[in-house]
Structure 1
Amino acid sequence: MRTVRRLGSSLRSFRFIHTADIHLDSPMRGLSDDVPGVAERLRLATREALTALVDAAIERAVDFVVIAGDVYDGDWRDYQTGVFFVRQMHRLAGESIPVYLIHGNHDAQNQMTRSLSLPGNVHVFSPEAAETKTIEHLDVALHGMSYAERAVTDNLVPGYPAPVAGVFNIGVLHTGLGGRGGHANYAPCSLDELTAKGYDYWALGHVHGAEVLAEHPHVVFSGNLQGRSIRETGAKSAYEVIVEDGRVAALRPIHCDVARWAETSINVSAADDFNDVIAAMRRAIETGADAVEGRLLAVRLHLTGTTALHDQLAAAPERLLAEARAAAAGLGTAQVYVEKIKLATAPQLDAATRRERQDALGELQRLLDDAVDDPYIREMIEKDVRRLAERLPHEIREHADDALLRAAIDGDTATLIHGAGDYLLSRLAADERAT
């Protein structure tokens, strides 16, 4: 049973959870079926994170929950996505915990072709105009507005109601706040506009990195609840907000993520052979697994350093990844998914030195150097690559982070030639060394 206290004429003290960007059943990017058990757990991670959030709300006996947009990730593949969310809201209803939510760009009215009835403890703010909901026994007023369209380009803040006198005012807004963190600048506004509104707390969504932008009044991005790709590394959480006598007394992160993405650099310049590289990867994987405290770790390894092994490593990307995943599989109870290995090593023999060699390696280096400035070769590559890149699905084009794939999509011919050339040179050097 939650207790609410009031000291004299001061405002009541209470606690609530601020979360956003749940992206329920969002597809995880960068998964491979080579590790089916881990991949399946990652696919369920957004559901498990929401379950953990509801568990935390019940265990901490919070007074209400605020969801600042993007409950979903667009239209559902089937009704089970909506059924799962409704079930979690019923759990909160059973504990008399109300929920106040707005729809963001991913779950705007024009994005969703399906809907299910929510329990009575859930209030969804209107997409027609900003509105105010009061919780009289707590002296709280919440102001919010849902998105009607995916791309909201108007500043919504001027339309939000004036603060209610004598209560704790919370603004709930889904905004890019000037394109923060590389996110689309939906519902654009400035920090100064938010702090000048007169509210006590702004519960923001859309930007996936947690950040406290201001205090008293508090302006806070809770970040997303569960990382979904290598672009969303590190701990993910919601905030428990403790309010005492009308002021935010504490913000406590609630880490609900069940899987965590990470990038780790491994310097292999001291490695004498392939086995040394494998051992270095194993140590990095073990260290990363310890750091996530029982969560599933999805990690991208970056191999760095100047090394005589560069050509061997560049010529065997499949073996490198297989060895890293085998090392992860041998950790026992810890679950680690090696998402990718990025080779950022440098050869001890640089391009200028290779060019001077009077052998096949030197000839190939000279051909590749000349190809960059050859208009015929550039035109041929641009034409063929453009044709292939245009056929790629929008999702791949938008989120590609592989350097050569990105170069192909962007029409960066020089990077394509250099990248392909490095691979060919490494294969040739590795073959020469093997013979």
Structure 2
Amino acid sequence: MDEKLTFIHAADLHIGAPIRGLRGLSDEWERRLIDAIPAAWERVVETAISRRVDFVIVAGDIFDSVRASYGDYVRFFAGLQRLDAEGICTYLCTGNHDPQSVWQKDFFALPPSATMLAADRPDFALFEREGKPVAIVAGRGYPNKVWSSRENIAAGLTRQAALSALGSRAEEAPFAVGVLHTGLNLDPVKAPTDPAALVAAGFDYWALGHIHRRYQDSESDPRVVFSGCVQGRDIRETGSRGVYVVELWSDESPRLTFVPTASIVWEQPEVDISDCPNIPSLVKKVMRELFAVNGTVSCEMMVTHITLVGETPLSEVLSRPGVLEDVRASLNDSYSEFYCDELIDRTQSPRDEEALRAEGMFPAVFLRTAETFASDVAGQIDFLQEEFLARGIPLTASLSEKKARRLTGEASSLVLELLAQGGDER
């Protein structure tokens, strides 16, 4: 009979994280957002119990702050105690947000089934099922908030080192799992390490934390994996968030099942309102789009930044003082489970560019110049760099060709919009 190991790979709980970047929240929405992160941890625990997994891994940043409150510890340790009561082990490591040097050990003691992997050295544990060795668990946490650039966090973490440390019984274990909080090769600042070296270390699976989006080194044979955070904390962390249920079988590739744990999802939809004749129809279309977006994620509540686009006579209406904010309020009154934090207007008034060219006036000259400029992407980036430097503003390193094209298009549209608004006086 083939051996099998099932566990949950979780990371980046960030219990105690503050609400970031939101405005004008109702009391109800403030309560929802405060409860969302600890509630996500509770869903991790419930998933582990309902699926009867062998153990749970939390790969760092359990708490958001080095000064986590007593209440934060209560929520986390309540989950550990539930798992302990169900006979489910947990393996933990610390991260850059909650390094081992600041853990409040006087608040609670870990239950017998929980293991905190060391931060000052490579550490190894042996998971047994009914007295039989099943898996080596190896890893290392953060001792302090900053990891030394002169030290490799994965140094010494190999299957052979685990066998030497754990003794002959470990040789009977068919599986080995590594646990780290690392930037891998995706974040060169936070304890980076080489994914190829991890694969060569002899482990069946590496459960990693720190990168908040899901990532795996291979779709068909995932060995080096980030599960992402369990609950998005702001508008930059869009989409479903959760954990992986990992199944390891002898001589087979790991099988990963994503399980959503977030109660609130963040999204940034773009809605084309060019076919909306008035504001009520605009609101209805946006709501239809929001329900469509929400249908692709696995939780009902959603916080959004919505961008309105398209050529429409409503562009002039939306530019009037207070109108956009009134539309946002109307959207928030339409459905209590959706909250629009920001409504962005990038619509344009209808214009006939061919007619403008035929007139032969300044707009025609501008359009020809803009088209020539748009065809030279390298020239666009050089121009932007010169303009930024002339104003003493550093040019962002992330200015891609795609972003340069978008900025050029937006600038051209803005000029034509201003010309249209100014009429003959301009």
Q: TM-score, normalised by structure 1?
A: 0.74
Q: Do 1:17 and 1:240's aligned partners in 2 also have CA atoms closer than 8 Å?
A: yes
Q: 1:105 aligns with which of 84, 96, 114?
A: 96
- Residue 33 of structure 1 deviates from its aligned partner by 3.2
Q: Secondary structure at the match of 2:159?
A: coil
Specify the alignment match of 2:135 in structure 1. 140
Aligned residue type for 1:324? R
Q: Do 1:72 and 1:106's aligned partners in 2 also have CA atoms closer than 8 Å?
A: yes
Give the 3 Å change call, closer, same or farther, for CA 249–47 of structure 1 in structure 2: same
Q: Distance in 1 between matches of 2:143 and 2:352?
A: 56
Q: Distance in 1 between matches of 2:77 and 2:224?
A: 29
Q: Do 1:289 and 1:336's aligned partners in 2 also have CA atoms closer than 8 Å?
A: no
Q: Distance in 2 between matches of 1:279 and 1:217?
A: 43
Alignment of 1:9-408 (within 5 A): 12-76=3-67, 78-110=69-101, 116-117=107-108, 118-136=110-128, 137-152=132-147, 153=149, 154-163=151-160, 164=163, 165-167=171-173, 168-179=175-186, 183=187, 185-214=189-218, 216=221, 218-245=223-250, 247-316=252-321, 318-331=322-335, 335-348=337-350
Q: How big is each residue's C-alpha offset from its partner over 1:275-313, in whole Å with a ceiling of 9 and x where there is no partner?
A: 332232222233334444552111221111233332332
Q: Distance in 1 between matches of 2:329 and 2:178?
A: 46
Runs of 4+ in structure 1 displaced over 6 angstroms? 350-353
Q: Distance in 1 between matches of 2:312 and 2:294?
A: 27
- Residue 26 of structure 1 deviates from its aligned partner by 1.1
Q: Which moved more, 1:250-259 or 1:321-330?
A: 321-330
Aligned residue type for 1:82? Y
Q: Which moved more, 1:270-279 or 1:81-90?
A: 270-279
Unaligned runs of 5+ in 1: 1-6, 358-372, 387-414
Give the 3 Å change call, closer, same or farther, for CA 141–247 of structure 1 in structure 2: farther
Q: Distance in 2 between matches of 1:161 and 1:187?
A: 17
Q: Secondary structure at the match of 1:306?
A: coil
- Residue 156 of structure 1 deviates from its aligned partner by 1.6
Aligned residue type for 1:139? V
- Root-mean-square deviation (CA, aligned residues, Å) is 3.5
Q: How big is each residue's C-alpha offset from its partner over 1:183-234, in whole Å with a ceiling of 9 and x where there is no partner?
A: 5631112221111111111111111111221365611111111111111111
Aligned residue type for 2:139? G
Aligned residue type for 1:275? P
Q: Secondary structure at the match of 2:8?
A: strand
- Residue 264 of structure 1 deviates from its aligned partner by 1.0
Q: Distance in 2 between matches of 1:76 and 1:322?
A: 40
- Residue 140 of structure 1 deviates from its aligned partner by 0.6
Aligned residue type for 1:35? S
Q: Which moved more, 1:321-330 or 1:13-22?
A: 321-330
- Residue 340 of structure 1 deviates from its aligned partner by 1.2
Q: Distance in 2 between matches of 1:284 and 1:35?
A: 23
Q: Do 2:271 and 2:309's aligned partners in 1 also have CA atoms closer than 8 Å?
A: yes
Q: Do 2:122 and 2:155's aligned partners in 1 also have CA atoms closer than 8 Å?
A: no
- Residue 37 of structure 1 deviates from its aligned partner by 1.1
- Residue 146 of structure 1 deviates from its aligned partner by 0.8
Q: Distance in 1 between matches of 2:127 and 2:25?
A: 51
- Residue 111 of structure 1 deviates from its aligned partner by 5.5
Q: Which moved more, 1:215-224 or 1:36-45?
A: 215-224
Aligned residue type for 2:205? Y
Aligned residue type for 1:176? G
Give aligned pairs, total.
364
- Residue 17 of structure 1 deviates from its aligned partner by 0.6
